[in-house]
Amino acid sequence: MRKLILIISALIIAGCAKSLIQFSSKKVENIHPMFGKNSERNFYYNFISSDSLKLIWTADAFGSFNNSSVVANDSLIFIADLAGRIHVFNLENGKQRGVLKTKGAIFSTPLLYRLRIYYPLVKDGKKLTEFIVYDYFAGKDLYIIEIEDLITNQMLSDDEAIYLFAEDGTIYKYDYEAKLLWSIETNQNNHFVPAMKKDKIFFGNDAGEFIVVDSKQGGIIHREKITSGFFSGASIDNNLCYLGDDEGNLYAIDIDTYNIKFKIKTDGRILMNPAVDEKNIYFGNMKRMFYCIDKNDGKIVWSKKMKGYFNSTPVVTKYHLFVPNLFKSLLIVDKSNGELLKEVELDNRAKLSPVIINNKIIIGYDEGVIAAYEFIN
């Protein structure tokens, strides 16, 4: 029987103690609205970056992060923490512009749509998630939807809806006014970051199945067991979906035929979404190895053993990789040959996938620190 879903519609809580974000302008551009910028999970920035960074500000969120990222409009950045708070900082100077305080934990990156924040709040000690829609221009919650499930994965969105992914494999589709359009149970645990293109959702699950779901109707289009387990994430470029498995294999799968175009074997677990540019795929594993793979034929361009373990997706610019690692640093790498150019030391383990906005790179590390660096010549 389908899980009970309680919808509390049009919940207006003006002046509620937790609703402490308010923005005065209706003219905003959501330039980085979700994890990976868009539903294909794009970590490539097509511009010429410097390999030199200058720290311009740090801000404290006072809570730990999951492996996620900030999201941003043209003047504010938003970050969720594991203490159930969403913090908002000014992009230019790092000053805090507000915070939503809730009881629970937020494991995924918030999603921005127009002047709203969408986020799943997992309630402490319960198999229960509140899907919350907050209007930060009006300064109030619009909807709180109770879902009897644990929503800990990254969300997706398209022109008509937002998609939520539960740990037990259930997928929920809600429109932007928080109306449930469909839900589907896949009956396998899922800790994989999905991607979407051509009205299809692509993901792997804990059992090693590769699954394709029709985003319009919610039916399973394709289901195939190809490995022992997936705990990473998908990135889609052109007609190929790239994803890594728990055995250290990277797959390129055609999004129309679902055939495996190539498989590259490494020796360590892959826990990140691959990053893809015009020519290559970039990813690291938990054996301290980092790879550059030709995205068309699967040939290894270079591989390097580097400092740190890699489970957060790097960002790619025209000539550089910016790679967070668990050895308390951000590595700046020449993407043509894997040469380490510089290392930015941090006070703790890097946790967030970097985001580049207005010539700034935003990173985050343990103990709730957000840092903004400016590219300098």
The pLDDT tens digits for 48-65 are 999 999 999 999 987 788
Is pLDDT at 207 greater than 50 in this prediction?
A: yes
- Structure tokens of 141? 């919650």
Q: What is the number of other CB atoms lying within 10 angstroms of the CB of residue 357? A: 18
311 contact partners, CB below 8 Å, separation of at least 6: 67, 271, 272, 286, 326
Is pLDDT at 249 greater than 90 in this prediction?
A: yes
> Cα 184 to the chain's mean position, in Å?
22
- CA atoms of 338 and 335, how far apart (whole Å): 5
- CA atoms of 191 and 343, how far apart (whole Å): 30
- CA atoms of 306 and 87, how far apart (whole Å): 33
- Cα–Cα distance list, 30 to 33, 110, 114, 131 (Å): 5, 12, 7, 20
User: Which is nearest to 286 in space by CA: 266, 269, 272, 300?
Assistant: 269
Place 9 in a pLDDT band, splitting at 50, 70 and 90: very low
Is pLDDT at 286 greater than 60 in this prediction?
A: yes
User: Which is nearest to 151 in space by CA: 107, 200, 183?
Assistant: 107
Place 18 in a pLDDT band, splitting at 50, 70 and 90: low
CB 353 within 8 A of CB 324: yes
Which of 16-30, 71-85, 330-344 has the lowest average pLDDT? 16-30
> Cα 304 to the chain's mean position, in Å?
25
- Structure tokens of 258? 């679902």
Is pLDDT at 223 greater than 90 in this prediction?
A: yes
- CA atoms of 175 and 162, how far apart (whole Å): 6
Q: What is the number of other CB atoms lying within 10 angstroms of the CB of residue 256? A: 8
The pLDDT tens digits for 306-334 are 988 898 999 999 999 999 988 889 999 99
What average pLDDT does the structure give for the chain?
92
Q: What is the mean pLDDT of residues 99-104?
A: 91
DSSP 23: -
Q: What is the pTM of this model?
A: 0.93
Share of residues in the chain with pLDDT > 90 (%): 82
pLDDT number for residue 11: 38
Place 196 in a pLDDT band, splitting at 50, 70 and 90: very high
pLDDT number for residue 80: 93
Is pLDDT at 22 greater than 80 in this prediction?
A: no
**Residue 317 burial class via C-beta count within 10 angstroms: exposed 0-12, middle 13-18, buried 19 and up:** buried
Please state the three-class secondary structure of 84-105 as a single string.
CEEEEEECCCCCEEEEEECCCE
Which of 19-28, 59-68, 90-99, 199-208 has the lowest average pLDDT? 19-28
pLDDT number for residue 64: 81
- Structure tokens of 192? 């994989």
Place of tokens 């644990």: 150
Q: What is the mean pLDDT of residues 167-191?
A: 98
Q: What is the mean pLDDT of residues 19-23?
A: 67
- CA atoms of 205 and 328, how far apart (whole Å): 30
Terminal Cα-to-Cα distance of the chain (whole angstroms): 60
